[in-house]
Structures are given as C-alpha cells and as structure tokens.
Amino acid sequence: MALDTLQDLFEEQMKDLYNAENQLTKALPKMAKKASSDELRMAFENHLKETMVHVERVSQIADMLGFKPSGKTCKAMKGLIEEGKEILEEDGQPGVIDFGLVEAAQRVEHYEIAAYGNAVVIAQQLKLDRKIIDMLKSTLNDEETADKKLTQVTQESIIPSIPIGEESDA
C-alpha cells in the first residue's frame, strides 16, 4: 500500500496497533506467570484485560472507517516481546527478575504511548468522528496509567526486595 495521504498513514498505524495489541495479549500472561511480586502480577493481569479492550477499540475504529485491521505485523512489538522473552528465560533473585519484567513492560508501554499519541494527532487532523478520537485518547490514557503503575510497583514493592550488590572499595 502506498502512503499517499494522512488517511493512508492512519489506517496503516491502526493495523500496526491492532497487531501489536494482539501480540501483547499473548505475552502478558507469560509475564504475569513469571512475576514473583503479587502487585506486579496483578498489574500485568489488569493490563491484559485493558489490552483486550484496546484490541476491540482498534477493531471498532477500523469498522467505523471501513477497513480491516488485520494483515500487518508490528515488527516493533515483535522485537520488544522477543527482548522481553530473555528475562522470562532467566533464573535469579525474584526481585531482580521482577525488575527486568518491568523494564521490558515499560519499553512496550512507551512504544504504545508514542503510537497512540500520534494516532490521536492524526485523527484530529483528519477531523475524524469524535468517538474515534475519544477511543484513541482513552487507550492512550490507559497506556500512560499502566506505565505509571509499573513505576509505582517497582518503587514500592520490587526495589526494596532487591539486594544492591557488594559494596565497592572506591
């Protein structure tokens, strides 16, 4: 598909996000299972529920605009999930593993924040239906909230459980 108009770009972005969110619905349960912190496990489980709503929202937007959301692979999400799999395969101190899971999850959240933020701007430029813009803003808000929740969980329950390491003689 040629990207000749802002509408073309928006549709491609929606297809990309649809695939990204679907990939995430498969990754989050694995991350929740690996988490040793109850708070982190709950954060992943709650975000999985939100992510399923995000898939539906993108599907609704595509339906409203008359295109199919499928048919594209989000290579960025694929790479982020592959990178996150590395921590899933590690053994070690539970708090350190949890922190690694948070790092991987926040990389995903930051990608989604950028993508949905841009989708809102494009939708506004295209003067799309207010409902579409509101759905995109709602998802953007969910992603920002998930990112903040991961930071909170890290600061309040994960970092206090992590051994710092050996004192240096410097």
Query: 50-103, pLDDT tens digit by residue?
Result: 999 999 999 999 999 999 999 999 999 999 999 999 999 999 999 999 999 999
In 3D space, the residue among 158, 30, 39, 161 whose CA is nearest the CA of residue 99 turns out to be: 158
What is the SS3 assignment for 109-168?
HHHHHHHHHHHHHHHHHCCCCHHHHHHHHHHHHHHHHHHHHHHHHHHHHHHHHCCCCCCC
pLDDT for 169 beyond 50: no
Phi, psi angle pair for 53, to nearest 5°: -70, -40
Q: With cut-offs at 50, 70 and 90, classify the pLDDT of residue 23.
A: very high
Domains in the chain (CATH in brackets) are: 6-156 (1.20.1260.10)
Q: What is the pLDDT of residue 165?
A: 76
